[in-house]
Structure 1
């Protein structure tokens, strides 16, 4: 695999919310833009645009979303690492969601410029945030 990734900032500000295990998908989740539901044994995690999340839901708001442009072979090694390492070494927290065609990485919206600079310094083709 070529180490250079093509990365875009996805428009919007995102939230990561916690619901009860096996929760049904709420109506406020629906709509355009990137979104994800992750079920685990002890919780349901929802990622969507932050303006959709009701105030009473346990949530972390203020996230920007980066997306790698794939697809990549499923057995390709190092894709997530080559994306996360420059962010983490520059003190930027990440929340990673992998899809069939690529990766989505949530970072604090306040760190978008710093993230773009770190990813470019690591050799990636990173589109400037809007």
Structure 2
């Protein structure tokens, strides 16, 4: 029996950077994917330019199995198995689904863990 929280995820073709900009309320450019403002500054997720030497993250997105905000357990069904496997995550939630970022060097392990947990993971965009 398939879990009601099993999702169809796809690997986003871009790689991302996660940056902290202290004391900022808005980035200086418009090259961002997601912003989170907090008292200690701004967290910015942006597409990683090829010339930047920094930790890169790869996104897993469940847009194919969009769900309402009142459906419990959808994000936990993804991050729980990844956490149990010792894989770090950074999440940006949208209205319909979650963009779960994992370190680029852990992508193969992350997809294996998610498939074992009952999720479908494809390498192409849906």
Q: Tell whether the structures are fold-level matches, with TM greater than 0.5.
A: yes
SS in 2 for 1:61: coil
Shift of the alpha carbon at 1:44? 0.3
TM, length-normalised to structure 2: 0.85
Shift of the alpha carbon at 1:128? 3.5
Query: Greater CA deviation, 73-82 or 15-24?
Result: 15-24
Does 2:60 match 1:66? Answer: yes
TM, length-normalised to structure 1: 0.82
Shift of the alpha carbon at 1:25? 2.3
Go from structure 1 to structure 2 and tell me whether the alpha carbon gap of 1:129 and 1:45 turns closer, same or farther (over 3 Å shift). same
* Runs of at least 5 residues in structure 1 that lack an aligned partner in the other structure: none
CA distance in structure 1 between the aligned counterparts of 2:22 and 2:91, rounded to whole angstroms: 21
Paired residues for 1:10-49 under 5 Å: 10-27=12-29, 29=31, 35-49=33-47
SS in 1 for 2:72: coil
Does 2:32 match 1:5? Answer: no
What is the total number of aligned residue pairs between the two structures? 122
Shift of the alpha carbon at 1:52? 7.9
Go from structure 1 to structure 2 and tell me whether the alpha carbon gap of 1:101 and 1:74 turns closer, same or farther (over 3 Å shift). same
Shift of the alpha carbon at 1:96? 1.0
SS in 1 for 2:108: helix
